[in-house]
A = this chain, B = another copy of it.
Amino acid sequence: MTADAETRDATPPDEVDIRTEEGRLSALYVDGVAKAISENDSARVHDLAGDLHESDLGDLIEALEHDDRPKLVELLGKDFDFAALTEVDETVRVQLLEELAPETVAEGMRDLDSDDAVYILEDLDEADRDKILEQMSGAERVALTRSLDYPESSAGRRMQTEFVAAPPFWTVGHVIDYVADTEGLPDTFYEIFIVDPAYKLLGSVALDRLLRARRSKLLSEILEEDPRTIRATDDQEDAARAFERYNLVSAAVVDEAGRLVGVLMVDDILDVIEEEADEDLRALGGVTGDEEISDPVLYTARSRVPWLLVNLATAFFSASVIGLFEATIEQMVALAVLMPIVASMGGNAGTQTMTVAVRALATHDIGGHNARRLIRRETLVGLLNGIICAVVVGMIAGLWFQSAQLGAIIAAAMVTNLVFAGLFGILIPLGLDKMKFDPAVSSGVFLTTVTDTVGFFSFLGLASWWFRLGPF
């Protein structure tokens, strides 16, 4: 909450707090800005939003009504920080950029680091993107186009092409003077890269290491020879993994020939990690598109319906299993009352296992060395918890329908289903991962099919056999 506390302190007392206690944007503040916009009161808009951090400005843009967004940009004029666009949802960004004049956008992006500029441009369609690029200087355009040529979600897209590089024969003193005297260095940097004349990366020197060295030392004497590097074509998730694993704050990005082409910064990696975790979570919840909370109704509905239809197919499949036992149910309706319990408990237990497995796969915590142990563990956990749930469900069902036999049958079905749930809760994600599918996306639907089918079949089948009812 400190950040918010400070924002409050920085605001004069007669102003509205921009964030509530919980760190959310204050509705009062947003309304104030919207009112100033509707009155075309440029001075008031500057007062309220002229000095915001890019991140707060981004939140404000999202909170405003659709039509007020371009007006805010116009009213703020030169004071609008385009970096704020890196903080808003894709839908909002694309819509807003389409409504602004290409010259305004090109002008606003002049001061951005290349990674922010690429982030803003990459989701536009090519025609819009080209219109903006045309308004830029040749050098800027070349640098941005080169980044945009790397595949989506690659390190090349996320990297910043501005960095500080020096030859190995410079002294520490020389570099320090160079940094002090040179205009146009990147806004922020944490290390100096040491390169040969062809820009092949020889090593790096972190700033704290530079400061600790004598001025007379050569860079070649103090450089770290094998810094962790990222290839521009590497996936951003692999880059994030390397940052996490080796506690990096920045890393050189090199091309196929080992030449330095950019630098990845940890703040971008934070976004990648958040995005990645988000994707897994949404995928497990059946939200598979790149839906955002600012999306309109139709778009949201359309992006969610395929998943529902897939599930509908599996629901019909489990219904057909029940259909096999129509005659059985007709003779003993209690079975219809109890059968969803067995199926749903299997689903719950299986989801527990699947969640752990999917997350462990995402963080590379499952491998050849422990997969077998995990399969054994999950099956045994299913067996143990199956027994516990079986005792409870058996007693309650037995008492409810005054039939110890029915209690025993639902108990047996429960154990069976929870063992299957544990086994398939881990086998399905492992199998999908082995076949190079994303286990977060489709494990759930396969798992439900298994737990519903096994749940209905074991319970109804056992009952039908024991009470000599129905088809078998």
Find out whether the CB atom of A370 lies under 8 angstroms from the CB atom of B286. no
Give the interface SS of chain A, mostly helix, strand, loop or mixed: helix
Whether A131 is near chain B, meaning CB under 8 Å from some CB there, is no
Find out whether the CB atom of B323 lies under 8 angstroms from the CB atom of A293. no
Query: Which stretch, A93-101, A103-111, A139-147, A267-275, touches the partner chain B?
Result: A267-275
In the complex, A188 Cα to B326 Cα: how many Å?
70
In the complex, A280 Cα to B296 Cα: how many Å?
25
Find out whether the CB atom of B207 lies under 8 angstroms from the CB atom of A190. yes
Complex interface bits, A205-227 against B, C-beta within 8 A gives 1, otherwise 0? 01110111110000000000010
Whether A249 is near chain B, meaning CB under 8 Å from some CB there, is yes
Complex interface bits, A323-338 against B, C-beta within 8 A gives 1, otherwise 0? 1001001100110111
Residues of B within 8 A of A53 (CB): 245-246
Q: A305-B388, A340-B322, A352-B287 are in contact. Are A365 and B228 (CB under 8 A)?
A: no
Given contacts A311-B348, A326-B337, 7 further A-B contacts (CB under 8 A): A22-B367, A24-B364, A27-B368, A190-B249, A277-B278, A286-B348, A308-B352
Query: Which stretch, A38-46, A67-75, A376-384, touches the partner chain B?
Result: A376-384
Whether A112 is near chain B, meaning CB under 8 Å from some CB there, is no
Query: Which stretch, A117-125, A355-363, A461-469, touches the partner chain B?
Result: A355-363
Whether A127 is near chain B, meaning CB under 8 Å from some CB there, is no
- Give 20 A-B contacts (CB < 8 Å), ordered by A residue: A2-B229, A2-B230, A23-B364, A24-B366, A55-B247, A176-B211, A207-B208, A274-B363, A285-B352, A297-B384, A301-B384, A304-B349, A308-B349, A308-B385, A315-B345, A316-B341, A316-B396, A319-B337, A319-B341, A322-B336
Within 8 Å by CB of A213, from B22, B180, B300, B322, lies B180
- How many copies altogether? 2
Within 8 Å by CB of A312, from B26, B213, B392, lies B392
Whether A129 is near chain B, meaning CB under 8 Å from some CB there, is no
The smallest beta-carbon distance between A64 and chain B, in angstroms, is 9
Find out whether the CB atom of B214 lies under 8 angstroms from the CB atom of A304. no
Residues of B within 8 A of A285 (CB): 284, 351-352, 354-356
Within 8 A of B (CB), among A26-69: 26-27, 30, 53, 55-56, 62-63
Within 8 Å by CB of A355, from B211, B287, B336, B337, lies B287
Find out whether the CB atom of A377 lies under 8 angstroms from the CB atom of B297. yes
Find out whether the CB atom of A368 lies under 8 angstroms from the CB atom of B3. no
Complex interface bits, A254-290 against B, C-beta within 8 A gives 1, otherwise 0? 0000000000001101110110011011101111000
Chain B residue with Cβ nearest A240: B270
Complex interface bits, A4-26 against B, C-beta within 8 A gives 1, otherwise 0? 00100110000000001011111
The smallest beta-carbon distance between A316 and chain B, in angstroms, is 6
Whether A157 is near chain B, meaning CB under 8 Å from some CB there, is no
Residues of B within 8 A of A396 (CB): 316
Find out whether the CB atom of B384 lies under 8 angstroms from the CB atom of A2. no
Chain B residue with Cβ nearest A83: B247
Shortest 9 CB-CB distances between A and B: which pairs? A285-B355, A277-B277, A24-B367, A336-B336, A247-B267, A3-B242, A207-B207, A27-B368, A301-B384
In the complex, A326 Cα to B336 Cα: how many Å?
8
Find out whether the CB atom of B312 lies under 8 angstroms from the CB atom of A337. no
Find out whether the CB atom of B374 lies under 8 angstroms from the CB atom of A293. yes
Residues of B within 8 A of A179 (CB): 208, 211-212
Find out whether the CB atom of A3 lies under 8 angstroms from the CB atom of B246. yes
